[in-house]
């Protein structure tokens, strides 16, 4: 069985050595760093199971290091972070928790308490990793949507495929493409709460029925909030019906408030909807779908760069 890896960053050599000796005696593998910058580098290289950061360090503080690491490690890539500091003023604690720390331990600390907190957080990390079941949960939710709505069966998977191609064509990183793919699979999960008679209605929806349908992005965000998905994923799920001119829903976001990720998934979602048979109309051909997308982009509703990319991959 592999020993849990703990990375500790502290500019005080005596603290580093004391924690290292104590944890190694309890079957942990310990890596040490002298400042936040070194901690960020070592985290990337060695991917520890838990990180302990001093708050005040030269070159890069623990707060800065935490923010950098948490920006990369969330969802199934989550790594627990503990702050170790003698400066536990309320403002510092709140700031640390806001940027992603999981716990604080005051110096001087009780070694037994520190180990107990480390073990608890590592257990939580293992649970989240088993949430490889996050993958299973995602596919189960997608299947639930598709099973209830025969007309859009496969829609979420197709949107995920289109979104991934757009992301690749637009030069997004592998990690960003993963976020977009998973979020696209889940973008319509809120439709689980929409009654079948509305979801599968033949013909035009009444205003009240359309209002009910429009609630699905918010419901989807609420459902997925417990999955520890990346913040960008929740943004996509909630905002995939937003438009750049503020005419979308549920929040009427406008311009730069609509993220690049959302812009990609929105175009993919509309394209697939246009090119697929629906209860109220037959599918449109690719040229007509692209024309509609370009018209919306020229009206300031969609991102023209993404639409042009859609035309390229569709052709």
pLDDT, averaged in runs of 10, over the chain (315 residues)? 88 91 92 95 94 92 91 78 75 75 82 86 76 63 70 82 96 93 89 78 83 91 78 95 97 97 98 86 92 98 98 91
Give yes or no: residues 196 and 234 share one domain: yes
> DSSP 3-state assignment of 82?
strand
Give yes or no: residues 138 and 217 share one domain: yes
Q: Which two tokens stand for residue 16?
A: 């580093």
Q: How many CB atoms lie within 10 A of CB 228?
A: 15
Give yes or no: residues 159 and 278 share one domain: yes
Give yes or no: residues 189 and 302 share one domain: yes
Parallel, antiparallel, or unpaired: how do β-strands 50-54 and 81-85 relate?
parallel
- Give the CA angle between residues 240, 243, 249 to the nearest 5°: 60
Partners of 7 in the beta sheet?
31, 51
Give yes or no: residues 137 and 88 share one domain: no
Residue 251 CA, distance from chain mean position: 19
Give yes or no: residues 53 and 150 share one domain: no
What's the pLDDT at 142? Answer: 72
> Of the candidates 130, 162, 185, which is a domain's last residue?
130
What's the pLDDT at 275? Answer: 95
Where do we find the tokens 């829903």? 249
For 11-35, the three-class secondary structure string (H helix, E strand, C coil) is CCHHHHHHHHHHHHCCCCEEEEECC
- Give the CA angle between residues 99, 258, 213 to the nearest 5°: 105
H or E segment and range at residue 137:
helix 133-148
Give yes or no: residues 98 and 227 share one domain: no
CATH of the domain at 100: 3.40.50.2300
Q: Which two tokens stand for residue 28?
A: 């942990």
Give yes or no: residues 183 and 272 share one domain: yes
Give yes or no: residues 122 and 223 share one domain: no
- Cβ distance 121 to 80 under 8 Å? yes
Give yes or no: residues 137 and 102 share one domain: no
What's the pLDDT at 315? Answer: 75
Give yes or no: residues 26 and 116 share one domain: yes
CATH of the domain at 182: 1.10.3210.10
> Of the candidates 81, 115, 130, which is a domain's last residue?
130
The whole domain housing 236 covers 133-314
> Of the candidates 111, 130, 149, which is a domain's last residue?
130
Number of domains in the chain: 2
Give yes or no: residues 63 and 144 share one domain: no
Cis peptide before 250 (omega within 30 of 0): yes
């Amino acid at each position: 069985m592999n020993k849990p890896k703990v990375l500790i960053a502290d500019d005080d050599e005596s603290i580093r050595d004391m924690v290292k000796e104590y944890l190694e005696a309890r079957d942990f593998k310990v890596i040490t760093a002298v400042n936040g910058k070194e901690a960020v580098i070592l985290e990337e290289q060695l991917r520890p199971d838990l990180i302990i950061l001093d708050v005040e360090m030269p070159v890069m503080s623990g707060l800065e290091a935490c923010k950098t690491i948490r920006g990369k490690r969330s969802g199934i890539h989550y790594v627990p972070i503990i702050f170790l500091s003698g400066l536990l003023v309320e403002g510092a604690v709140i700031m640390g928790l806001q940027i992603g720390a999981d716990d604080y331990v005051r110096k001087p600390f009780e070694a037994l308490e520190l180990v107990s907190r480390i073990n608890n957080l590592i257990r939580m990390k293992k649970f989240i990793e088993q949430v490889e079941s996050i993958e299973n949960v995602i596919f189960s939710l997608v299947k639930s949507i598709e099973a209830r709505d025969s007309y859009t069966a496969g829609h979420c998977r197709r949107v995920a495929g289109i979104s991934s191609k757009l992301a690749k064509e637009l030069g997004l990183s592998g990690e960003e493409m993963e976020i977009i793919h998973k979020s696209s699979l889940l973008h319509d999960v809120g439709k689980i709460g929409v009654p079948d008679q509305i979801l599968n209605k033949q013909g035009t929806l009444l205003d009240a029925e359309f209002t009910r349908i429009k609630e699905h992005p918010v419901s989807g965000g609420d459902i997925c909030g417990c999955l520890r998905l990346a913040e960008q994923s929740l943004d996509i799920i909630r905002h995939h019906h937003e438009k750049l001119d503020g005419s979308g829903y549920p929040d009427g976001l406008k311009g730069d408030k609509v993220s690049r990720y959302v812009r990609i998934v929105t175009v993919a979602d509309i394209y697939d909807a246009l090119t697929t048979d629906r209860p109220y109309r037959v599918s449109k051909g690719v040229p007509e779908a692209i024309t509609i997308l370009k018209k919306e982009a020229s009206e300031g509703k969609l991102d023209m760069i993404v639409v042009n990319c859609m035309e390229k991959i569709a052709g």
